[in-house]
Structure 1
């Protein structure tokens, strides 16, 4: 009888733990570059408001990855919900992100954001890295004022 009670108690404990474990969703993250506190992140939708009175700011931002450099993984773009996405490059070319497969995933970036003019040559280079056609690249005929972000660290959720 003792064995039945002990076995029943053990079975109850095992099933209780396994149900709890199945109901929790584990989020996997990968850090590239320097580690940082992601809890300080501001949503990327706040960027234009944060940049109203300055041309540059040190900040932690979170957003959704739209594209990554298909050649080396040396840049990525985060969706802003506006016409221009935020281009993120990596401090001192010290690390890279995946060349594909990260699109649609959440990213948190730590670094420095600056509003600046991007040259025609640089815009064409980014378009080529993104796999744009020669025709699309040829249509780039003017520099563009945009936000650029230099990250010292990036966290990407799987």
Structure 2
């Protein structure tokens, strides 16, 4: 009888430990700028729907980083859909994100989104910062209507 109790206790302890290690996978994250509640985040793929009735909104979004400014880390671009991407700049130029290595990581951003026309000059500037070729930059000849986001805080997860 003692052996059955001892064996049962040992098996229970073994299963308890293995369940903990599987469920305790920690996600490393780094916050840039102001702290905020990431649990309020809405998926970036819903941005078009959220902006249907307005041209600006204060919001928390989550999405995947497509690229960052290779010069200073002063902007990043998140995948927002098939052809739409969201350019994210940082409030008052008060913080930056990594210049490389963040591509493909999940980001949660808190701030203000606006739908506006981006000038040819600004589009070319962003292309140059992203390391585009002179030929690709020269092909930018028209302004573009797009969503721009000014973030007061950013969380990047590994």
1:28-67 equivalences under 5 Å are 28-67=28-67
1:5-154 equivalences under 5 Å are 18-24=17-23, 25-154=25-154
Deviation per CA, 1:35-87, whole angstroms, max 9, x where unpaired? 00011111001100110111100000000000000111000000012312100
How many angstroms apart in 2 are the aligned matches of 1:53 and 1:142? 26
Name the Cα RMSD after superposition. 1.9
Q: Which structure 1 segments of 5+ residues have no match?
A: 1-8
SS of the aligned residue for 2:150 comes to strand
- Structure 1 residue 138: deviation in Å? 0.3
SS of the aligned residue for 1:125 comes to helix
Normalising by the residue count of structure 1, what TM-score does the alignment of the two structures yield? 0.89
SS of the aligned residue for 1:122 comes to helix
Q: Which structure 2 segments of 5+ residues have no match?
A: 1-8
How many angstroms apart in 2 are the aligned matches of 1:103 and 1:97? 11
- Structure 1 residue 18: deviation in Å? 4.9
The residue that corresponds to 2:5 in the other structure is none
Give the aligned length.
152
How many angstroms apart in 2 are the aligned matches of 1:136 and 1:120? 13
Structure 1 residue runs of 4 or more that deviate by more than 4 Å after TM superposition? 15-18
- Structure 1 residue 34: deviation in Å? 0.2
SS of the aligned residue for 2:87 comes to strand
How many angstroms apart in 2 are the aligned matches of 1:127 and 1:21? 46
Normalising by the residue count of structure 2, what TM-score does the alignment of the two structures yield? 0.89
